[in-house]
Chains A and B, each alone.
Chain A
Amino acid sequence: MVRIRVPMLPAPGELPWSASVNDTEVDIHVESNAILLDVLRDQVGTLGVKRGCDMGTCGCCSVLVDGEPRLSCLMLAHEAAGCALTTVEGLADGHHLHPIQETFTTHGGSQCGFCTPGFLVVISALLEENPEPNEAEIKAAIDGNLCRCTGYQQIVDSVRAASMIITSGKKTADATDPMPDPHPGMPTVEVESEELEVVPDE
């Protein structure tokens, strides 16, 4: 068998790269051949952008480039220079989650969560363009994202619920507020204080 290695030479020099990532100006130097996904994860530090297949199949690496969802694994970093980039970290408004982030938690839109950032980014762009998408439009929008856990129905449900929040004009709850009672309406049990065993501090 002939053994030949494809040469792995060091990349030609780094070039200045600047872009607005989640409304923060970033000025760094990146290699000429760098892929946007690598720059965002390794140099900018937005680890919400996931590397799934690295081939454009799964959509886990989706980011918004000037508001349009794009696959960061198939985009050269220098092509995105000067653009406004939004990753999943930039979707929330302060302490208020984006409606689709909130409804993903309430409707079981994510299980293992690996594909979730890609879905959230793509769906946020859909809702921005079309706040009341029908089922066919939702399915067409997430056609490029793969999820291996939930089976998509919960994701479609989450989009519908998020659409209702957006059209109602309400803001999502402050994520730092104490969680409400998870079982409202459950009868409280009266306990006599003598029945409680007090464990003394050691």
Chain B
Amino acid sequence: MKFTLSWLKEHLDTQADAATVADALTRVGLEVEGVSNPADVLKPFVIAKVLSAAPHPQADKLQVLSVDAGNGPMQVVCGAPNARAGLTGIFGPPGATVPGSGMTLKVAAIRGVESNGMMCSFRELELGEDHDGIVELPGDAPVGTAYVDYAGLDDPLFDVSVTPNRQDCMGVRGIARDLAAFGLGTLRPLAQVYRMEPLEPVAGDGPAPEVRTDDPEGCPAFFAQAVSGVTNGAAPAWMAQKLKAIGQKPISLLVDITNFVSIDLGRPLHVYDRARLSGPLVARRARDGEEVVALNGKTYTLDASITVIADDAQVHDIAGIMGGAHSGVSETTTDVLIECAYFDPDHIALAGQKLGLTSDARQRFERGVDPAFLDDGLAIATKLVLDHCGGTPSAITRAGEPPLTPRVIAYHPRRVTELGGLHVAAERQARILLSLGFSIGAITSPDAYSDALFATIEGAWPVTVPSWRRDVDGPADLVEEVIRIVGLEHVPATPLPRAEGVARPTATPEQRIERKTRRTAAARGFAEAVTWSFLSHKEAAPFGGGAWVLANPISEDLKVMRPSLIPGLARAAQRNRDRGERSVRLFELGRRYLADAERATLTVLIAGEAEGRGWRHGKARPADAYDAKAEALAILAAAGAPVERLQLVGPGDETWHPGRSGKLGLGPKLILATFGELHPETLKALDVEGPVVAAELYLDAIPARRESGRARPAFAPPALQAVRRDFAFLAPADLAADALTRVIAGADKQAIVEVSLFDVFTGAGVPEGQKSLAIEVLLQPGEKSFTEADLKAIADKVVAAAAKLGAVLRG
């Protein structure tokens, strides 16, 4: 919402300057997006008269002018075709910066002739599009006067962001009312502003125009008045200047009047050319598929949820949003119908959203216009038309009923203290509410206030909400009204009551797992990434596709809620490799979006080298599935998962390499992680190069630890030294190593406390189809040391156990 200081002062009697107004606007909740003054850059440009014009000796298209800008004749070279003796224009002296070009003027020779400044066009001054020649002002324009003063351009422009609740501040008058309540000045009576004392409907004598509403839901009220015999010329200077100042191009008098009233009073109107209408104008629902060409030249296809204004032949207006081109006014218009309607805000909002069409009218109707202002709005519009376009008014048609039931709120002034934390005296509160247009019982205006009358109100105040404040519907809203006018800065900061003792821990077990695993992954050399929660169909497909697909994605790439964190990380890894990174270690902690739930997941991914080349170990080592397994186990251990009980449960699903991936579970049903190499088809679908290995950790599957107090069991190390024994077995090549270590561990559960595999070998000396597995067993004696016979017996049990899996002790 834009307006100038002088426009504001039409409604607000104040001496405040721009800075004071801007500060007050911010304080009352009207956010100032900007304050600017076009005069700031134009100040040096002055009115000047061309005394004489002579041809330039060196150039056909240039002239040498003698110009008087108030200090006697000066020589100026000028290329404008309209430059001539006697012309009064705008002169830019040396030192002035031309807004249109950004060039700073200086005394310079142009084709050998000295020029002491420049005569300007409107476009060069950014005051219009006109560039046919230099500005021609009326001959009586005072030479030497700054142009901005002459043209009244020294007028600060405010750009205010009006929150969606403030219907009233979509008009300059509403803003003036807020500022008056704040104490910045006095609100002038509206009748005085429009010189219509008293402000009442304009009487007409012709027959009232035939209008009605067949859609009382979308258009509860449709008021109209016709004026015949008008002349649609140009807007008067005061109106054109205001509109231009806020960036609106004057179009024609009739259109400008509606635009002016819309911005001045927040009251949109529409004017139809009666010559283009056939039959009565009716507010009704559009028919599905019905079309209208709007004033912006575009064709809109409507449906039955959208209210329109139509005659017997066609739609003439998308109600409350934009008029139709067919019946719009033109220079030849002589008979007009002025529409002043009340449209239901929700209908307008939904229709506007559906059509993707915004307009000044929509912005006002969807916030809600003042339903009690239809007669006044129509009167003001008709008066302006009569004053400036002439013509004869008709009688007024009032179809339908605007919603006028007043809202009364029972309000205890102590609520300001209870909710706002600020004590404001009751009388002050009453004056604030009255100045904003609220009534308190019988006190209906600030002028009507008296202590005696105020004293008659006991208990809760019956506060009547003004018709232009549909946002106010409860005591909390009134608290806000009082506090924003008093000033939020007066609310004292009050500490929240603090629980006794030190702050208590707040993290849940899930949050603790997330924190530990995140920082473990980082400590293990992984950089944490945050990637999009949505993927393309193609990226989701190798992961079984997504259960959640957006109906209105920004793009096809960001459409499917991710079923895995791998695609985002793999794509990020590839981008890094494309930049020359040889080893990419990334992780992400986020959610997978499955059909039944959002699941907390930590995924680590290594792309390229696991270990770079080096002088100690030689060539680089590409990442492999064991790297992924190591990370999975380390991070699960940090999360407190019982890693010693984890089993390898089959390969991963079709996402993964069938021979180089596995799941880690506490049994086949409770899977905590999948790890390994990605399937080549997965790499292809994600468009990434291998090797890529990953481990996806299902954090929500990690069993909760049983809390049994902080104390640990007593420390009881074994009394006797443990004994190590090595065994080498020849085993079938396809035997899983952990199957062997598991049976060995079970061979003597008393003595064997640890089994570890330390070598795997195939090749010379190992028969085809077999492999050699070297295993160390740690034996812990109990009460007394092992005898040779004990050790022999244990070794026999180990060998026998291994034999069950086809593993034979190597000779």
- Same assembly: no
Which residues of B line the A interface, CB within 8 A? none
Which residues of A line the B interface, CB within 8 A? none
